[in-house]
Chain A
Amino acid sequence: MILAIASGKGGTGKTTLAVNLARACGFPLQLLDCDVEEPNAHLFLPGGTATEETVTIRVPEVDESLCDGCGECSRFCAYHAIVSTGAKALVFPEMCHGCGGCIKVCPRRAIREVPRRIGTVEKRQAGNVSLVTGRLDVGSVLAPALIRAVKARRDLSRAAVIDAPPGTSCPVITAVRGADYVLLVTEPTPFGLHDLRLAVDTVREIALPFAVVLNRAGSGDDRVQRYCTDAGVPILLEIPDDRRIAEAYSRGRLLVEELPEYRERFAALARQLLLSESSGGG
């Protein structure tokens, strides 16, 4: 069973939900932090020794002694990552998606592939949670490739929770694809509702079952509840707008440990979603 936690709008409480569900469930599970631009789950789940691996993609390197500047690579590249000025081909590795096309089209076999670092994947055990964190290098644009690397570390023997990045574009899709269920976290405000609608369009586009978690309930109005009723989308959990929650969060504390009265709500949701099917597979 893989549960992905996503949202259109940032800062609605994805990470709060992911880390508290993971801790409250009580059984061993994996938490894959796929918000690789700004991974935060580790801040709430201390402990354990971390092992870190470097993630690379393959990018072209031109052998200048073989390149005659024909420009075939540069005409082929959809990302303007290799440019022939007429003399020699020049590579802009930060633009490269690693498709391998230039190597194949080069008539003089002057291009080979070399690894280029885009970020790291860190693994750590924090109590019942096996945390896998993807961290994109600053300046890299290849979040989807790094998210794929995080998901490749999935342990098929246990349930997994995915903390997805915000938004509706390629990084989000890469993170939530393959999940069995998606929880969309939002807040009861005009921005929250607008971005929830976009997130709903996105998960419908990839045909995944989903429900909503409403955070900071009571801080705005009832527009999200009305939308969910009209659209037939269940709201599985409401987290009230409680300043104590915000303060615990600000210090990097788990809500289910700091404010135990909330623990059972998260535990019940975790059992409902993560034990509803046999774990593993996916």
Chain B
Amino acid sequence: MKELVVISGKGGTGKTSLAASLAVLAGNAVVADCDVDAADLHLVLAPSLRERHDFLSGNEAVIRAQDCTGCGTCAELCRFDAIGKEIRADGAPVFRVDPIACEGCGVCVRFCPERAIDFPKSLCGEWMISDTRCGPMVHARLKAAAENSGKLVSLVRREARRIAEEEGRPQIVVDGPPGIGCPVIASLSGASLVLVVTEPTVSGEHDLERVLALARHFDMPAAVCVNKWDLNPAMAERIEGRAAAAGAKISGRVRYDPGVTAAQLQELTVVETAAPCVDDIRQIWDHLQL
């Protein structure tokens, strides 16, 4: 089974549009949307829901105000500035955990002299398995302002792999998150190939170097494609040269094409329309030889 992870470093380079098109060209793949912060694949793949699950991950400290003596040990020990002082109705000082700043380490829970802090599991989002016209899709939604996006990404990929094995599907196409942080690392570790979508801009160039360094750091084979290459042909060429020097394969270029947005407005993937850049995307798919 081959797992292709589409990432970009910089956001908005066309990662999701390309991943959706590649999923359609693959024909018999499992699709995984690992951009769990801002998942968009479902907007063009029209999933019909098979199953939905809560994503419980980590814990969250909650101080029982009635048992808090206001000693402040928790606030002193917290390294994440997550505990603030409040005044109770009877005038006594009590402490309260800010659930957004809390990283769930449990230090305050352990060292509260009154044992006045609970540590329930926290609901960080949900994940779903759906059917789409190009195969089953695993997708997720991180709760607004929640933690543990990396763990949710790992869960989505694990489920996609399980389905691919059970249903005998040879490929997994993963739409990854932007950046180079925790959810990106969770998206690419152990995949067959990372396809980096970039654009011919100074930001695209800068961010590509960092994301290729990340792929090297985890010893992942990488391929690069420059989207909207004709916006700045000289820059596109320079980026490809640098990517090749960094050990990445060059998978092709996609022209600047308003048809990409037009496809999105029709809730279709680009390759399901007659947009001129469809040829470019097909060439990339053929070149990947997944």
Q: Which of A73-114 contact B (CB under 8 A)?
A: 76, 78-79, 97-101, 104-105
Residues of A within 8 Å of B202, CB to CB, are 40, 43-44, 250-252
* 0 or 1 for each of B218-233: is its CB under 8 Å from A? (1 = yes): 1000000000100110
Task: Kindly state whether residue B244 has any CB partner on chain A within 8 Å.
Answer: no
Interface size class of A (residues with CB under 8 A): 35 or more
How far is the CB of B23 from the nearest CB of chain A, in Å?
16
Chain B stretch 11-46: residues in CB contact (< 8 A) with chain A: 11-13, 16, 36-38, 40, 43-44
A137 to chain B, nearest CB (A): 9
- List residues of B (200-223) whose CB comes within 8 Å of A's CBs: 200-204, 206-207, 210, 213-214, 217-218
Would A100 and B107 count as touching, CB distance under 8 A?
Answer: yes
Q: A201 an interface residue at 8 Å Cβ cutoff? A: yes
Q: Which of B144, B149, B179, B265 contacts A37 (CB 8 A)?
A: B179
How would residues 177 to 189 of chain B score, 1 for a CB under 8 Å from any chain A CB and 0 otherwise?
Answer: 1111111110000
> Which chain B residues border A56 with CB–CB below 8 Å?
none
Check A104–B111 contact: CB distance below 8 A: yes
The answer to whether B142 touches A43, judged by C-beta atoms less than 8 angstroms apart, is no
From A138, A171, A202, contact of B217 by CB (8 A) = A138
Output the residue of A43, A170, A204 with the most chain B CB within 10 A: A170
- For residue B142, which residue of chain A has the nearest CB? A169
Q: Separation in Å of the A18 CB from the closest CB of chain B?
A: 12
Q: Which residues of B contact A249 (CB under 8 A)?
A: 201, 203
Residues of A within 8 A of B70 (CB): none
Q: Give the nearest-CB partner of A15 in chain B.
A: B203
CB of A255 closer than 8 Å to a CB of B: no
User: B40 and A38: CB pair below 8 A?
Assistant: no
| CB-CB nearest in chain B for A36 | B181
**Given A9-B12, A100-B79, A139-B214, A205 and B103 contact (CB-CB distance below 8 Å):** no
- Determine if A166 is an interface residue (Cβ-Cβ < 8 Å): yes
Q: Write out the residue numbers on chain A whose beta carbons fall within 8 Å of the beta carbon of B16.
A: 191
Per the bound structure, the CA–CA distance linking A120 and B9 in Å amounts to 18
In the complex with contacts A169-B147, A170-B149, A195-B40, A139-B232 CB distance below 8 A: no
The answer on a CB contact under 8 Å between A219 and B210 is no
Name B180's contact: one of A38, A76, A206 (CB within 8 Å). Answer: A38
Given contact pairs A78-B58, A206-B100, enumerate 8 new A-B contacts (beta carbons under 8 Å). Answer: A38-B180, A76-B106, A78-B59, A99-B103, A165-B179, A167-B38, A170-B147, A190-B43
**A-B contact list, 8 entries, CB within 8 Å:** A9-B38, A10-B178, A38-B180, A141-B182, A170-B145, A219-B261, A243-B231, A246-B228
Q: Which 3 A-B pairs have the closest CB atoms?
A: A10-B11, A11-B12, A99-B105
